[in-house]
Amino acid sequence: MIDLHSHTNESDGTVAPADLVDLAIRSGVEALAITDHDTFAGYDEAKPVANAKGLDLVCGIEINTRMTQSRDGRERAWSVHLLGYFLHEPPSAAFRDWLSALIESRRKRNTKLVARLNEMGVNIDLREVEAMGRTLTGRPHFARVLLNKGYVSSTEEAFRKYLGESAPGFVHRDSPQTAEGIRRISEAGGLAVLAHPIRLGIRDARREEEAISDLRDAGLGGIEVYHSDHGPEDVARYAALAQRLELAVTGGSDFHGDAKPGIRLGTGINGNLHIDGEVLVELRRRDARR
């Protein structure tokens, strides 16, 4: 069993990188990718520990992007999460610099978000939010502070009432275009993969395939067929789609520790996940042919 999608407390997870290595070994996960949002800090920290303990640790990243499309005269915007896998060489310095810029743009947004929440009568300051995280501070950390202070009784409520796209507190962040994300990952030597395609929320299977096919034309190399949010029909649909579009297949739990308590490393939600080691063998085979 392997798990190619996980988060540490360097982004919005709650488990420290070295502890995640231990958890993987204890859980029977033979290969693990750390795919923190916008930072390699968790991977960098976990790598020597994984080497010492014999865990196959893969270098990864997750980047939130936006895709806009106009079809039939209508503008539509999607939030698209991209995974990047660096299988044969470490990501370039230029790519790391780009990630720093993304973290900085989030910091600017966070300052505005604090002001907005203050206006709404919420007593919160940036320092206490940043204290929740390490390298990256994002909306999930805001949700934790709102929860701890009793403004809300769940993360879901925090996003619904304050932080989510249709909530009154919402502050826009300039996330990169999906095509730019794909290009940056590829130029840095990585494989760009569409994370949890179910969250594109495209109900019509034909439309969904068109959207993913457009992404492939922009350089997308794979899709996350296996994910905690995918039911058996989704897995079957995405596996078939990957084959038709000649995209690589990946999979992972999207483990965040206590930030998403229902998801377990390796096995997903109520054991709905089991990703065979062959998936990574095949990824590496493809990568070697590039």
Shorter beta-carbon distance to Fe ion: residue 47 or 227: 227
73 contacts 42 by C-beta, under 8 angstroms: no
For position 173 contacting ligand AMP by CB under 6 A, the verdict is: yes
Q: Is the dihedral of CA 250, 255, 260, 262 positive or negative?
A: positive
Shorter beta-carbon distance to Zn ion: residue 128 or 229: 229
For residue 6, the surrounding DSSP H or E stretch is: none
Q: How many amino acids of this chain bind ligand AMP (CB under 6 A)?
A: 11
Residue 287 interacting entry, from ligand AMP, Zn ion, Fe ion, none, C-beta within 5 to 8 Å by type = none
For position 3 contacting Zn ion by CB under 5 A, the verdict is: no
For position 38 contacting Fe ion by CB under 5 A, the verdict is: no
Shorter beta-carbon distance to ligand AMP: residue 103 or 202: 103
Cα-based distances in Å from 81 to 7, 24, 123, 193: 14, 24, 31, 9
Shorter beta-carbon distance to ligand AMP: residue 159 or 255: 159
Shorter beta-carbon distance to Zn ion: residue 10 or 254: 254
For position 169 contacting ligand AMP by CB under 6 A, the verdict is: no
> Taking the complex as a whole, how short is the minimal distance between the CB of residue 87 and Fe ion, in angstroms?
20
47 contacts 21 by C-beta, under 8 angstroms: no
How far is 281 from 274, CA to CA, in rounded Å?
15
For position 36 contacting Fe ion by CB under 5 A, the verdict is: no
For position 224 contacting Zn ion by CB under 5 A, the verdict is: no
User: Residues 140 to 199: which contact Fe ion by CB under 5 A?
Assistant: 195
Q: Is the dihedral of CA 64, 152, 118, 11 positive or negative?
A: negative
- DSSP, collapsed to helix, strand or coil, labels residue 66 as strand
106 contacts 138 by C-beta, under 8 angstroms: yes
For position 86 contacting ligand AMP by CB under 6 A, the verdict is: no
Strands 268-269 vs 263-264: parallel, antiparallel or unpaired? antiparallel
Q: Specify the amino acid at residue 1.
A: M
> Taking the complex as a whole, how short is the minimal distance between the CB of residue 11 and Zn ion, in angstroms?
8
> Taking the complex as a whole, how short is the minimal distance between the CB of residue 4 and Zn ion, in angstroms?
11
How far is 239 from 247, CA to CA, in rounded Å?
9
Residue 64 interacting entry, from Fe ion, ligand AMP, Zn ion, none, C-beta within 5 to 8 Å by type = ligand AMP
**Site residues for ligand AMP per CB under 6 A:** 12, 64, 106, 138-140, 155-156, 159, 164, 173
